[in-house]
Structure 1
Amino acid sequence: MKRKWRILNPDKKLVENISKAVNCSPLIASLLVNRGIFSPKDAHDFLNISIDNIRHPFSMKDMDTAVNRIYKAIKYHEKILVFGDYDVDGVTSTALLMEFLRHTGADASYYIPHRTKEGYGLQKSHITGVAVPGRINLIITVDCGSSSHEAVKAALDAGIDTVITDHHMVPEKLPEAVAIINPKRSDCNSGFYDLAGVGVAFSLVICLRKYLRDRHFWESHPEPNLKNLCDLIALGTVADMVPLKGENRIFTKTGLDLINSGSRIGISALIKETGSNKYPFDSEDIAFRLAPRINALGRIDHAKEAVELLLSDDPGAAGKIARQMNMMNAKRQNIEKMIVKDILEYIDNNPDTLRHGSIVLSRQSWHEGVLGIVASKIVERFCCPVIIFAEKDGFAKGSGRSIPSFNLYEGLKSCSKVLEGFGGHSMAAGLSIKTENLGLFKNEFENQVMKMSLPEDSLTFISIDHEIGFNDIDANLVDEIEALKPFGAGNPEPVFLARNVTVVSSEIVGENHRRMILSQSFGLEDKIYNAIHFNFDQDLEENMHFEEMAFRLRWNRWNGNKSIQLVIENI
């Protein structure tokens, strides 16, 4: 599908200033400006990633109260329960905090709820069924808890304190917790708004380690090197698709270096199960190879084993869990394909479904564990907000995904009277509803989308960073582009434009990928490069000439060798 292209036009003076200040090419400087990096200092920090550049998080609201309460629990051997979530961010947050607490000798355990049997977040049943029987004194939530009013009140009534660490949107009224560390609080001016849940948990650990050091705690315990936790932060941060800027960029780059060093047994076992011999692994590999396998356990079975994998120091046990993850991921893919097929067939037979600028569908037969992935795929296909429900016993649980121009959280907030509950952010949300109210919700949601959107919002855009010719491409340029990694949300991989490109040769590889040799003429000289077009639509004619081509520039690494490769984005 030909998408609409936006050719970015950065301020020339800014580009010139940054190019001179950090001694980079004007092309690279323009890429930095396109990513919102306008000052020489910001450009320097962006290109020279250092763990030493992270800001101290003690400025986060309630941080001092939280570390004081946790210190007391450690000192007096109180029972601590780390309560997490079943996605990658929640699993890595749980593993990170558990690993640190074990360093302190704390009496700590953890709990991950079952996605389909228990649902998201700390609930009253977890207090009566887990915390009270376990004689827990302190609950620390990670990647959840900001809306758990009933559960926190039940804990308080049972004499159990709660410290909440989270990054999701917060309600107007907060739970009665001892401390709520969430950079999205309206009264938190720390500047850490974009942290993932695992980043918030790590911020707590940074402050807790210092608090313990100030009280001479580490004189009797070996002080942990927190840099060794950055592999967990990289996994959760990339998987949760938060902007890879500031601390998130530092954590992810540092974590990727750790992942590639093979220092964590569980992650190495999982990489082995992917069957990839690619080196080094990057943020794209986290997003498309590691994260789906970790998530698969929580979607199809139980995410507890994912925490065990990340904490494991036994290669045999880690390998067993990694193989289980691989099997669950294959099962997840099959379930997902069947639901996507159902939806596409329904839309083909009912084209009016698209008339209101959104898609809301529900079935009893659909597996609720994969609804978020399915919704994402339908958004990619039709470029509109999508909510998919699975029905059971008079209720429906749903997952929604959106487009940048429509704030899904605000849209659901406007429909909240017919919902049993909802949570999330502008691009993704979870919700529950009585099945009898599905029709009413569908009408209200469609009206909100029509009210809050413009017709052009349904167009899909590609942002073109720079037009270049094949004679501009060389190894040095690809190296400079690689220095901008890790790529992801907030720091997209650069996309270039080339004109009048000829296909010298072409073949279909894999299921539907087109591998080519491309050339571009300059006088008497032809510049030739290898190229790949992933997920090529074979129903389209295999063009042998491209008037315009949007592409990415990468090193193609294989068996210790590397060559320049053009990855086609759109033609």
Structure 2
Amino acid sequence: MKKWRINRPDPVKTAEFMNKCDLKSLTLDVMTSRGFTDFDSLADFFKGEELSDPFLIKDMAIAAEVINKAVDQYDLICIYGDYDCDGVTSTTILYNYLESMGANVMYYIPEREAGYGMNMEAIEMLAEKGVKLIVTVDNGISAVEEAERIAELDMELVITDHHQPPEKLPRARAIVNPHRADCPSSYKDLAGVGVAFKLCAALDGGSYDTVMEQYADICAIGTVADVVPLTGENRTIVKRGLEYLANTEILGLNYLIDKAKLDRNALDSTGIAFRIAPVINASGRFGSPLTAVKTLLSEDPEDAENYVDTLLNLNAQRKQTETEIMTEIVNHINAHPETLDHRVLVLSGKGWHHGVIGIVSSRILEFYGKPNVIISIDDDGNARGSARSVKGFNIFKCFQHCGELLDKFGGHECAGGLSLKAENIEKFTQMVYEYSDPMEKFPSVELIADKLLMPQDINLDNVKGLSAMEPFGAENPAPVFAMLGVRVDKIIPLSQGKHTKIEFSYGSYRGQALIFSLAPEKACFAVGDKLDMLVELGINVFNNRESISIRVIDHRLSGVKQERYFAAKDCYEKLMRGEQLPASFIRKIIPTRQELIGVYKYISAVKNITLDNLFMKISGDSMNYCKLHICVDIFRDKGLIEFRPATMKISYVVPKQKVNLEDSETLVKLNEMLGKAGN
């Protein structure tokens, strides 16, 4: 179960804004719930921010001068990119622009195995090729030693980047990075491709006219892929880019859009984020990033289609590898359920592809709601890890605490990476536990609803009006709404039972909602039950007729008190970690014989159920999550059920003989803890 937070709009402000603009009431409710309390800021959001003068970014004029001089002298210029989608699109834009200027230009992107950013081996190779000027895109801001070597080799260096600068900047002719402390540019959140885009405009005398027409589509893809805030200038770039993407002249993108089965008339940032960007990223994860660059540059139809097919195959490999790693993790957790009792999960495996461990980490965070570190061990005993966290638990500070064991680490509050020797993983894991487990309050993943949706809110005009907020992405997510007390009238299986559709009543509103990846037989609800749901709203068009679509993001039976659930879950984990709790509490969570009988009867009747669904069905004043989990543990100890902790699935087992629950390992352990706690 995930924690929900339902925000409240400001009805006074909504009414005030409705008198000043033609936005719909539901859209204005979302905006006021997100903190837009004055009309000027609201108007600026929807009007869109004009792209500021590229020369406002520190060193942009110098960078343009150095590059233009190299072009005029026909010096060999190398665009030095990065292997992710942001780096690939940055490389493509700048290379294509310089080539169209008649420059003597090449590009270089290191393979993932070489690591992020510049490396000495590549620099030596570029010098041997006769490169006179290196221009970095989406990297370089931390390349202090590499920059010195470039100078020693009598090459010039221009750095364009968007990552946070270190205290000491590299030696370069120009360092174009909006995050520089001395940069006067007001907008700081550009992706690497956004900085490259502005560099092209600077090379064109400061005008965006040509570069917008030629590169807005590619720039939009890189911007969405890098998950930078879709506010301000980024919002403008993506909005314009989506317009150009629908009719793009880039052969590779045309093939990719068609093969991804995207509707050209309804291209949006979600389509980029889930259908285009992962395919481009796959080249850097499983193949060569050069394949992705060639896909975007190719002017030969046959070659372009072949490149796209290669990318799609690589993406399929990526998905398969993710699934294999997730299967290993599930098996590990089922064999070692104590793993889940800790506040931060540390999971490692041999040969896990380091190109996907970041994605796996994100999936683990989403599924378990816990910060985690996923570590891949190679044949030489070296290990690399990727981490994801939640706001409120700084994973980078956790790494600092463990720094003595790490060869290298970096990151910020919610994400990070590290490398260490495999022999140190066990000690590293213990240090992570020592750092995180004792924390008094620990944050969890929250699903945020913009407002409680009322039946009268649900109409075509209101739902269509939400599109004014697009493009959606980081810091401007698609609106989410809460619906409380929805009555289930009918349950309909879809796609051979893979998904579920429900027909429901919500006050005066009658509608349908889709719940993806939920088989009807695994649902926590039945016809007649009342649900609380978090949903996204959209418009379906079929035979030129529009209808409202409702997609369920999360759901639970009505009446669940989430604060009690999470408090009891935290107490259960403390018990399992062996933390001493008051005797009065331990006595309260030891189930009585009658409580055990009640829980067992329910499980034996339904045969298969998840722990959360069981909790929603039978919890009450005397049966909280902690006590219920203990009941399940007791039944597992005595072989009355099969319990798979990784998925929290409970399966009834027909008993072969009578058992004595009193001597179960769980009850014995609890009674020992009670004895230590005293009376």
Q: Same fold (TM over 0.5)?
A: yes
Task: Measure the CA separation in 2 of the matches of 1:447 and 1:61.
Answer: 44
Q: Unmatched 5+ residue regions in structure 2? A: 556-679
- Structure 2 equivalent of residue 493 of structure 1: 478
Task: Measure the CA separation in 1 of the matches of 2:264 and 2:69.
Answer: 46
Which of 142, 145, 151 is equivalent to 1:150?
A: 145
- Structure 1 equivalent of residue 6 of structure 2: 7
- Structure 2 equivalent of residue 541 of structure 1: 524
- Structure 2 equivalent of residue 505 of structure 1: 490
**What secondary structure, in the 3-state scheme, does the structure 2 residue paired with 1:173 have?**
coil
1:124-158 CA deviation, whole Å, 9 max, x = no partner? 111112x1121111111111112222211111110
- Structure 2 equivalent of residue 516 of structure 1: 502
Which of 110, 116, 125 is equivalent to 2:121?
A: 125
Q: Is residue 226 of structure 2 the alignment partner of residue 227 of structure 1?
A: no
Amino acid paired to 1:287: A
Instruction: Indicate if the aligned counterparts of 2:82 and 2:116 stay in contact, CA closer than 8 A.
Output: yes
**What secondary structure, in the 3-state scheme, does the structure 2 residue paired with 1:30 have?**
helix
Instruction: Indicate if the aligned counterparts of 1:126 and 1:151 stay in contact, CA closer than 8 A.
Output: no
Task: Measure the CA separation in 2 of the matches of 1:438 and 1:146.
Answer: 30
- Structure 2 equivalent of residue 167 of structure 1: 162
- Structure 1 equivalent of residue 228 of structure 2: 242
Q: Is residue 511 of structure 2 the alignment partner of residue 529 of structure 1?
A: yes
Equivalent residue runs for 1:474-493 within 5 Å:
474-493=459-478
Task: Measure the CA separation in 1 of the matches of 2:427 and 2:151.
Answer: 37
Amino acid paired to 2:122: H
Deviation at 1:456, TM superposition (A): 4.1
Instruction: Indicate if the aligned counterparts of 2:392 and 2:442 stay in contact, CA closer than 8 A.
Output: no
Equivalent residue runs for 1:166-565 within 5 Å:
166-210=161-205, 224-277=210-263, 279-392=265-378, 393-450=380-437, 455-458=441-444, 460-510=445-495, 512-522=498-508, 527-536=509-518, 538-544=521-527, 545-557=529-541, 562-565=546-549
1:289-311 CA deviation, whole Å, 9 max, x = no partner? 11111111111111111011111
Instruction: Indicate if the aligned counterparts of 1:469 and 1:499 stay in contact, CA closer than 8 A.
Output: no
- Structure 2 equivalent of residue 108 of structure 1: 105
| Change in CA separation of 1:561 and 1:419 when aligned onto 2, cut-off 3 Å | farther
Q: Is residue 55 of structure 2 the alignment partner of residue 73 of structure 1?
A: no
Amino acid paired to 1:473: I
Amino acid paired to 2:97: F
Instruction: Indicate if the aligned counterparts of 1:498 and 1:549 stay in contact, CA closer than 8 A.
Output: yes
Task: Measure the CA separation in 1 of the matches of 2:453 and 2:499.
Answer: 24
Instruction: Indicate if the aligned counterparts of 1:22 and 1:40 stay in contact, CA closer than 8 A.
Output: no
1:299-349 CA deviation, whole Å, 9 max, x = no partner? 111111101111122222111111111111111111110101111221222
| Change in CA separation of 1:193 and 1:354 when aligned onto 2, cut-off 3 Å | farther
**What secondary structure, in the 3-state scheme, does the structure 2 residue paired with 1:369 have?**
coil
Deviation at 1:88, TM superposition (A): 0.8
Task: Measure the CA separation in 1 of the matches of 2:398 and 2:434.
Answer: 10
| Change in CA separation of 1:231 and 1:17 when aligned onto 2, cut-off 3 Å | same
| Change in CA separation of 1:349 and 1:155 when aligned onto 2, cut-off 3 Å | same
**Would you say how many aligned residue pairs link Structure 1 and Structure 2?**
551
Instruction: Indicate if the aligned counterparts of 2:488 and 2:531 stay in contact, CA closer than 8 A.
Output: no
Task: Measure the CA separation in 2 of the matches of 1:319 and 1:560.
Answer: 32
Amino acid paired to 1:199: G
Deviation at 1:447, TM superposition (A): 4.1
Task: Measure the CA separation in 2 of the matches of 1:532 and 1:67.
Answer: 52
Q: Which stretch shows the higher mean deviation, 12-21 or 132-141? A: 12-21
Task: Measure the CA separation in 2 of the matches of 1:202 and 1:520.
Answer: 48
| Change in CA separation of 1:155 and 1:561 when aligned onto 2, cut-off 3 Å | farther
Amino acid paired to 1:178: R
Task: Measure the CA separation in 2 of the matches of 1:31 and 1:496.
Answer: 9
Instruction: Indicate if the aligned counterparts of 1:360 and 1:387 stay in contact, CA closer than 8 A.
Output: yes
Deviation at 1:251, TM superposition (A): 0.9
Instruction: Indicate if the aligned counterparts of 1:168 and 1:424 stay in contact, CA closer than 8 A.
Output: no
Instruction: Indicate if the aligned counterparts of 1:84 and 1:91 stay in contact, CA closer than 8 A.
Output: yes
Q: Which stretch shows the higher mean deviation, 154-163 or 512-521? A: 512-521
| Change in CA separation of 1:19 and 1:384 when aligned onto 2, cut-off 3 Å | same
- Structure 2 equivalent of residue 31 of structure 1: 30
Instruction: Indicate if the aligned counterparts of 1:506 and 1:514 stay in contact, CA closer than 8 A.
Output: yes
Task: Measure the CA separation in 2 of the matches of 1:342 and 1:286.
Answer: 30
**What secondary structure, in the 3-state scheme, does the structure 1 residue paired with 2:128 have?**
coil
1:163-195 CA deviation, whole Å, 9 max, x = no partner? 111122222222212222222233334232221
Task: Measure the CA separation in 2 of the matches of 1:513 and 1:85.
Answer: 39
Instruction: Indicate if the aligned counterparts of 2:95 and 2:106 stay in contact, CA closer than 8 A.
Output: yes
Instruction: Indicate if the aligned counterparts of 2:162 and 2:192 stay in contact, CA closer than 8 A.
Output: yes
Amino acid paired to 2:271: D
- Structure 1 equivalent of residue 601 of structure 2: none
Deviation at 1:516, TM superposition (A): 2.6
- Structure 1 equivalent of residue 598 of structure 2: none
Q: Which stretch shows the higher mean deviation, 421-430 or 138-147? A: 421-430
Q: Unmatched 5+ residue regions in structure 1? A: none
Deviation at 1:268, TM superposition (A): 1.3
1:516-551 CA deviation, whole Å, 9 max, x = no partner? 3333343xxxx3323211222653334333342221
- Structure 1 equivalent of residue 618 of structure 2: none
| Change in CA separation of 1:361 and 1:499 when aligned onto 2, cut-off 3 Å | closer
Amino acid paired to 1:119: G
Task: Measure the CA separation in 2 of the matches of 1:360 and 1:420.
Answer: 17
Task: Measure the CA separation in 1 of the matches of 2:434 and 2:166.
Answer: 24
Deviation at 1:14, TM superposition (A): 4.0
Task: Measure the CA separation in 2 of the matches of 1:557 and 1:293.
Answer: 27
Q: Which stretch shows the higher mean deviation, 405-414 or 313-322? A: 405-414
1:198-223 CA deviation, whole Å, 9 max, x = no partner? 11211222222216x8xxxx9xxxx8
Task: Measure the CA separation in 1 of the matches of 2:553 and 2:135.
Answer: 44
TM-score (norm 1): 0.90
Amino acid paired to 2:96: E
**Higher relative contact order by CA 8 Å / sep ≥ 6: 1 or 2?**
1
Task: Measure the CA separation in 1 of the matches of 2:422 and 2:7.
Answer: 46
**What secondary structure, in the 3-state scheme, does the structure 2 residue paired with 1:368 have?**
coil
Which of 41, 50, 56 is equivalent to 2:53?
A: 56
Structure showing greater Rg = 2
| Change in CA separation of 1:446 and 1:560 when aligned onto 2, cut-off 3 Å | farther
Q: Percent identity?
A: 36
Deviation at 1:277, TM superposition (A): 4.7
Instruction: Indicate if the aligned counterparts of 2:217 and 2:248 stay in contact, CA closer than 8 A.
Output: no
Instruction: Indicate if the aligned counterparts of 2:262 and 2:271 stay in contact, CA closer than 8 A.
Output: no
TM-score (norm 2): 0.76
| Change in CA separation of 1:387 and 1:191 when aligned onto 2, cut-off 3 Å | farther
**What secondary structure, in the 3-state scheme, does the structure 1 residue paired with 2:115 have?**
coil
